[in-house]
Amino acid sequence: MFRFISLAIDIYFWLIVARVLLSFIRPRTYHPIIRFIYEVTEPLLSLCRRLLPGTVMNIDFSPLLAVIFLEVVRALLIALARSLM
């Protein structure tokens, strides 16, 4: 159970990293893999963008906030899973 939780959050983390790297090269978004990355990560990143006051010098800090949020969720879910066992 713990491995599944960690694996799911790790995969989502790497999707966010891929999205950040893709933002530097601005690929065409019609490619299925790129579209998948954007569609999977956008719900969390858009929530983080709404929580942040705004961009600073055109830098989007929502991926950083999303990664912090994912780590907090991982810790809470693992603690909850351990308490149920």
Domain boundaries, the chain: 2-84
| Spatial separation of the C-alpha atoms in residues 79 and 16, rounded to whole Å | 24
Q: Which tens digits make up the pLDDT trace of 17-29?
A: 999 999 888 877 7
Beta bridge partners of residue 56, listed in sequence order = 59
pTM of the model: 0.87
Sign of CA dihedral 26, 9, 3, 32: negative
With H, G, I as helix, E, B as strand and everything else as coil, classify residue 56: strand
Q: Which tens digits make up the pLDDT trace of 44-82?
A: 999 998 988 776 677 888 999 999 999 999 999 999 988
Record the tokens describing residue 42, joined without a space. Answer: 């956008």
Tokens 């690929």 sit on residue = 27
